Structure 1
C-alpha cells in the first residue's frame, strides 16, 4: 500500500501532501520536515530508494525523484515494488508535463485542485488505479468539462446522465 505521496520544493516547502493512513496535521508537518532532512542530506550519486522506518514506522520504504526544484516522493510498504513506484512517479510527472506543458513549481502552486485530480486518478486510497498518463489526462479533462458545465448551470452531458440513472 502507498502510505503517502509528497511533492516538496528543494527548500522543504510542501507543495502536495497526501497521506493514505490518517495522520494529524501536526504529525504530517513533522513527517514532512524529517523526510526533507533525509532528502536534503543525500548525495547526488546515490540510489533513489531509502528506508524510512525511523520516520514512518516499520516496513516502510521511500522512493523519490528530483526534478528541477521539486522532490516527488512516494512512501510505501513492502507490498509494493520499488521499481514500480519509481515508474509511477514517472507517470505522475509525465502527466503533469502534458497537462501543464512542461510543469514547474508555480503550475503546482496555482493549479492545486488539478494536481489533486491527477493524483486521484493515479492513486486512490493508497492503491494504484491507472498507469497510463493518456488515460489519466482523459479523465481529468472530463472532470474539468463537468466542473465547467456545473458552474455555468448548463445541463449535464448525456454520458454522465446515463451513468447517474443506472
Structure 2
C-alpha cells in the first residue's frame, strides 16, 4: 500500500504531497524533510529504492523534480517505480511537456490526475486516456 506521494524540487521544496494515512501536520513536515534529505543526497548511480524506518521509499528524478513515494513492505517496488513514470507521462500528455510551474499553478489538476490513478493508497488506473477523461470534460465545461 502507498503511504504518501511527494513531488519535490532540487532545492527541497515540496510541490505536491498526498498522504493516504493520517499523519499529524508537524510530523509530516519532519518526515518530508528527512525523506527529501535522503533522496536528494543520493547519486544517480545508486538504486532508487531506500529502506527508511518502517517503510520503503521509491523515487525517480525528472529534470529538477523528484517524485518520491512511501510504501509499506508488501508493496512491489517496481510497480510503484513504473507508476511514477506513468504519472509523469500522463502529466506530460495533459500539459504537453510538464514543468514545475505547471504543477505549481495547476495543483488542482495534478491532484485530479493522481486521484484517478491512486485511491486510498492502491493503484487503480494506469490507462492515460481514462485518467485524463475527467479533466478533458472539466476543460470543455470551463470553455463553455
Please give the TM-score of this superposition, normalised by the length of structure 1: 0.82
Partner of 1:8: 8
Partner of 1:68: 63
Instruction: Give the SS at the match of 1:121.
Output: helix
Deviation at 1:109, TM superposition (A): 0.4
Aligned length: 144
Deviation at 1:127, TM superposition (A): 1.0
- Superposed CA RMSD in Å reads 1.4
- For residues 122-164 of structure 1, the C-alpha deviation after alignment (integer angstroms, 9 at most, x for no partner) is 0011111101122211232234445x38xx7xxxxxxxxxxxx
* Higher RCO by CA contacts (8 Å cutoff, separation 6 or greater): 2
Instruction: List runs of 5+ in structure 2 lacking aligned partners.
Output: none
Instruction: List runs of 5+ in structure 1 lacking aligned partners.
Output: 153-166
Q: 1:83 aligns with which of 57, 78, 81?
A: 78
Which deviates more, 7-16 or 18-27? Answer: 18-27
Q: Does 1:100 align with 2:92?
A: no
- For 1:87 and 1:139, the matched residues in 2 are separated by 22
Instruction: Give the SS at the match of 2:5.
Output: strand
Displacement over 2 Å in runs of 4+: 142-146
Partner of 1:34: 34
- For 2:23 and 2:140, the matched residues in 1 are separated by 33
Q: Does 1:136 align with 2:131?
A: yes
Please give the TM-score of this superposition, normalised by the length of structure 2: 0.94
Which deviates more, 6-15 or 126-135? Answer: 126-135
Q: 2:113 aligns with which of 107, 110, 118?
A: 118
- For 1:143 and 1:23, the matched residues in 2 are separated by 31
- For 2:101 and 2:71, the matched residues in 1 are separated by 27
